[in-house]
Amino acid sequence: MSTARAGGLVELLLDAGFDGFSMAINRVMARDPQPRPIGFRWAGPSGRTLTVWHGEHYGFGHLLGIPLVQKPSGWAYDLDAAHSKVQAYITGLNG
């Protein structure tokens, strides 16, 4: 995990009780830091750090088969159907 430096936002999040942070930037609207996905420690001015996950695009789950599906009980995620695609993605991240 690499370390990134930033301003007071880290301090505010830590003081508010956050112990981690996840983001997924929309590449259509703005360029994002690369590589991604990646985890890192975001350091505030005090030296305290927040664990951060910079993941795929926020809609990436749909590519892995995690859309909402309509069931008799209402709308739900079909995680069982997505399991093999998610496992293959994780295997690819591990090299």
- What per-residue confidence (pLDDT) applies to 7? 63
- What is the side-by-side strand order in the sheet with 20-23? 2-5, 38-43, 49-54, 20-23
DSSP state of 30: S
DSSP secondary structure, 65-93, as one string:
T--EEEETTEEEE-HHHHHHHHHHHHHHH
Confidence (pTM): 0.60
92 or 31, greater pLDDT? 92
30-35 mean pLDDT: 76
pLDDT at position 60 is 81
Is the CA virtual torsion 35, 85, 91, 5 positive or negative? positive
pLDDT tens sequence across 35-62: 888 888 988 899 999 999 888 877 787 7
pLDDT in tens, 2-29: 455 556 889 999 999 999 988 877 777 7
Other residues' Cβ atoms within 10 Å of the Cβ of residue 64: 16
What is residue 39's DSSP assignment? Answer: E
